[in-house]
Structure 1
């Protein structure tokens, strides 16, 4: 509240909300007596939105000294939600096939930006096929059925929060029907053993009358209503078969204010015996260490039955489990990548059923690990006693020796077949046919020269010395091999020029005798 300065001691301040005086303000005066302050504290609610708040102050000794200050209240709050059934509908008289609609009433600041319709804690969406129409603040249910019954509510949301209306319980009335849709059931009974048969019905409102009958021969029916009693809307018949003719069919009907049950609930009474095997067994949620096995019940033989599962690994039974409700088993602590199989049977007080065919289970690999298959027989390395780190050392040494041997063979082959440079070891090639002399008696001397090079002090006789040089003209052979490189310096070697001259002793051409020896200088 504002401060009002004054010089007179007598003054007062009052607060007003929408023209009505509000009490509870605290009035204080400053030490110098010049300022009076009034403070009002209150908690606004949704109804205060849009109202005016005023503060008035005046000095009683000064006429017409009153001053006033006014504020407009703007209150923000979450939605306030309420829902109602359509005006023309009676909540206590809604039968199957009727059309029903609800209205959602909202008060909010700021205004809501989303409205939901809820049935049994589940949000509804428009579905014209199912007869559900959602139109913002209105919900329409066309041709309601017994499944439309439930608790309905309206939910609204704005920036300040979310609110849900009180729920409305819609009860759609219908005649009795067998609960869970089980119109036929088999009951096993021993002779002279009383059995208690329960007739459970669904209806709105609950059934108030029941009727029982027994049929063993077509066209013959016995009324057994007097042997039944009612408990919490359920009729219980006590029946005792004494002979074979007492086994047959029991029928039950119910009735409420809507009408009589159209299809009776039938119970076939048969001699009690062993149960049938579970059916349609399958695997659910197979992992690397667990699996769930689920089956369907077989005929219980007319007595309460239980189920047993036996787990095998190979030929050995490693575990067994039992279930008294439904044939469903959760198997844990299995090995990854392993094959198992299971067999399931049921039993009652009369005995046990045949086991089901074996159901094979193969677990998955463990996540993040590379699974190895288990070997049933030891290999040669295991038999010899070499395993662990020594096995890797031997494999590494063997690989190194193989690589070294391969490199040695490659180096030997390269050196063996390498072509040497003509500068280091010149070889005299045979002249081509066109370079041979015309005289066919002249033969190449490559082998003789090569052998005699080993003894340089001897001058071996040549084949040309046996021939008179006067008979043969001198000749020259020039060889130009392909360009080669010196293996030591890797420099190209120039073509070389070889000249052969017949520096042979003269012979008589007719007698072939050598002339007398003459010394010559070279």
Structure 2
């Protein structure tokens, strides 16, 4: 402990001896050349001093002084030891506590360094290093410590004065760029400059009154290549690392290209087609819009795919015929860049089936036509490609076929000209029918088909209703009816009071009293178009039983059905219906219909308004006997049509009752059990029939006048032409009073 104190005391003595004592020493210090060392405030400073000893000598002490102060700031005592093991001693002030001498550096580096930590402005000044040797003269070194005060961090501002952080912009392609870099403080004053990708762009700066250095960057045109590149603002000072602020330019780019890449081929109406459009060069990626004749396609399916600066848009277009020849445009625009719009356009061609429509080439409307008029029907067609042929149909019947038949003349219209007309046009896309045009031809009254001449069976003293039904347009209230009655050789008008009308039907009540009252009634109708040319005839004949059907034919169908079709005979002047009986070929039974040849018991009995029957479930392999006859209020036809040995060759399902079958039809399996019941019913019907026939004969004998009863064949009215000749003689000449007609024996 004592030795340590002695060492310190001795070192202090040496330090005191090192204090300069006169003006010569101060002049020596002033004239000593100085080495300038720059240091940054707040960082460490290294002040060099040569501590290499001459050959054969060694260092005793090293002293550091600041400015003119005679007291060492820092001392190093190496007496009797190596310099690396020397004793270090620093003053106790604030500077001394931050100082430390580094005796040596790297290999072959003889310069020691006084390290001052965290230098401040107060540390600036001239430092002197004194090195004392054992034998050699003392060596002095002078170091001028100059402190650099770093400026504030550079601030980059946009044109609006807002600070820019990491990204500057957005800027717009083709427009100018303005930014400024602001650096506050610093000693010495920093130099502020702009750099782009390592190259100097602008180093001209200015200083404001607030001691702020500003460099304003201005580019007249922003090019596409600047997008994503880096600009730097650097603040440089002597011996100090530059302060740097970096920003990346965000530049909005206009789309460069846009193109509909799908070939411009013919489209088909009603069929979807994909069209693709590509746009490049835009940032952010372009918004692609499809337009048709300048109007956005809002309801079309559009799919878009964006890359870094390209966009692909797919349009699923389903055109119609109205789109043919329209302009389709693909528009690319940067939604962030006003005015950055480009388009690619094309005219689309749409193939579509014909669109025919019919117009009337006449000033008369379709509801105002009448018999004898002449008109033209014109088929107007829109089609792409052109129409190949046109067909005309009247009531679904082809009437004209010609490639150029767009006009159909209809001359001298008749009632048959009425109906629907359709033109059908064909091209490569299809065949299309027009909406039908309905033509209505007004015509004078004519007899309704089937009512030209009818026979009505009657009994004397029994009132019947004679009916006349016509077709006419206009009808309804515009129709007027008149009747005549041909009695023997006279043609008498029927008083209007006897005539009633309802729509297109006129009726009169007629009661034949004598044989002379059986004659012919003629009905005439008139409307605004004209009078009926041929009357409707009603022949009053004696009622009789109907004739038997004839020409019956069998059809054994593949569906397992047996069809029986006959031609009806005369109805005897009364409504008739037809009956078919089916029985087995063997065995006898007396239960045949009245007037029908007795045979086997019927298995089935079928009624119909026409002699057309369909039989089901006849057992294959069995033979059947079929009888067909007609029946009216006077009785049944005799003899019936008999078909023997009818064999069914195909399997059929069990007979099910049809709507026209007799409810009493029984299957063969139930026939034996109910045969007795059928016999009782038949016997009862025969007894009642005999009683009714007896009463009728007695009554008729009291009323009968001499004369012959016409046969059923006389009731047939097949020769309409001969009737028409007679009808012409029956036109009403003059109306006589009802009293006169009754006096002549009329039966009204």
After TM superposition, is the score higher than 0.5? yes
- Richer in strand (by share): 2
Correspondent of 1:5 among 263, 275, 281? 281
Contact 1:304 1:348 in 2 (8 A): yes
Q: In 1, distance between residues paired with 2:491 and 2:305?
A: 104
Partner of 1:184: 453
Change (3 A) 1:53 1:190: same
Larger radius of gyration: 2
Give CA deviations for 1:295-340 in whole Å, capped at 9, x if unaligned.
3333333432222223452552444534341122234444667765
Q: Secondary structure at the match of 2:345?
A: strand
Quick check: 319-328 or 252-261, which moved more? 319-328
Partner of 1:276: 546
Q: In 1, distance between residues paired with 2:351 and 2:640?
A: 68
2:555 is the counterpart of 1:285: yes
Q: In 1, distance between residues paired with 2:513 and 2:568?
A: 29
Change (3 A) 1:77 1:235: same
Q: In 1, distance between residues paired with 2:334 and 2:644?
A: 100
Q: Secondary structure at the match of 1:298?
A: coil
Q: Secondary structure at the match of 2:377?
A: strand
2:615 is the counterpart of 1:349: no
Partner of 2:76: none
Partner of 2:642: 358
Contact 1:278 1:327 in 2 (8 A): no
2:383 is the counterpart of 1:108: yes
Give CA deviations for 1:343-377 in whole Å, capped at 9, x if unaligned.
3322223332322353456547669xxxxxxxxxx
Figure out how many residues of one structure are paired with residues of the other and give that number: 357
Q: In 1, distance between residues paired with 2:630 and 2:355?
A: 58
Correspondent of 2:435 among 136, 147, 166? 166
Q: In 2, distance between residues paired with 1:311 and 1:12?
A: 86
Correspondent of 2:464 among 181, 195, 219? 195
Q: In 1, distance between residues paired with 2:337 and 2:403?
A: 66
Q: In 1, distance between residues paired with 2:623 and 2:527?
A: 58
Partner of 1:22: 296
Give CA deviations for 1:229-283 in whole Å, capped at 9, x if unaligned.
32232223233445555443222111122211112111122344x4222243321
Partner of 1:468: none
How much has 1:29 moved relative to structure 2? 9.4
Task: Give the gaps of 5 or more residues in structure 1.
Answer: 127-132, 368-522
RMSD value over aligned CA atoms? 3.9
Give CA deviations for 1:103-161 in whole Å, capped at 9, x if unaligned.
222222334444332222344456xxxxxx88543434455433332211122334444
Correspondent of 1:216 among 480, 484, 487? 487
TM-score under structure 1 length normalisation: 0.57
How much has 1:211 moved relative to structure 2? 0.9
Q: Secondary structure at the match of 1:173?
A: strand
Change (3 A) 1:330 1:43: closer
1:1-400 → structure 2 map (5 Å cutoff): 1-7=277-283, 15-18=290-293, 20-22=294-296, 24=298, 34-35=309-310, 43-57=318-332, 66-87=341-362, 91-96=366-371, 100-125=375-400, 136-141=405-410, 143-206=412-475, 208-241=479-512, 244=515, 246-272=517-543, 274-286=544-556, 291-312=562-583, 313-314=585-586, 315-334=599-618, 340-356=624-640, 358-360=642-644, 362-363=646-647
Change (3 A) 1:13 1:96: same
Change (3 A) 1:292 1:57: closer
Q: In 1, distance between residues paired with 2:568 and 2:375?
A: 41
Q: Secondary structure at the match of 2:416?
A: helix
Q: In 2, distance between residues paired with 1:304 and 1:29?
A: 83
How much has 1:201 moved relative to structure 2? 0.9
Q: Secondary structure at the match of 2:325?
A: coil
Contact 1:308 1:320 in 2 (8 A): no
Contact 1:214 1:224 in 2 (8 A): no
Q: In 2, distance between residues paired with 1:146 and 1:243?
A: 42
How much has 1:7 moved relative to structure 2? 4.0
Q: In 2, distance between residues paired with 1:119 and 1:102?
A: 12
1:403-414 → structure 2 map (5 Å cutoff): none
Task: Give the gaps of 5 or more residues in structure 2.
Answer: 1-276, 587-598, 652-748
Contact 2:375 2:409 in 1 (8 A): yes
Q: In 2, distance between residues paired with 1:134 and 1:3?
A: 48
Contact 2:354 2:387 in 1 (8 A): yes
TM-score under structure 2 length normalisation: 0.42
Quick check: 200-209 or 136-145, which moved more? 136-145
Partner of 1:427: none
Contact 2:548 2:641 in 1 (8 A): no
Contact 2:551 2:567 in 1 (8 A): yes
Q: In 1, distance between residues paired with 2:338 and 2:436?
A: 60
Q: In 1, distance between residues paired with 2:298 and 2:399?
A: 49
Q: Secondary structure at the match of 2:630?
A: strand
Q: In 2, distance between residues paired with 1:335 and 1:59?
A: 87
Contact 2:444 2:472 in 1 (8 A): yes
Contact 1:277 1:356 in 2 (8 A): no
Change (3 A) 1:102 1:35: same
Q: In 2, distance between residues paired with 1:275 and 1:119?
A: 44
Change (3 A) 1:68 1:31: closer
Change (3 A) 1:210 1:260: same
1:439-518 → structure 2 map (5 Å cutoff): none
Give CA deviations for 1:52-71 in whole Å, capped at 9, x if unaligned.
12234456998986432112
Q: In 2, distance between residues paired with 1:47 and 1:363?
A: 66
Give CA deviations for 1:449-478 in whole Å, capped at 9, x if unaligned.
xxxxxxxxxxxxxxxxxxxxxxxxxxxxxx
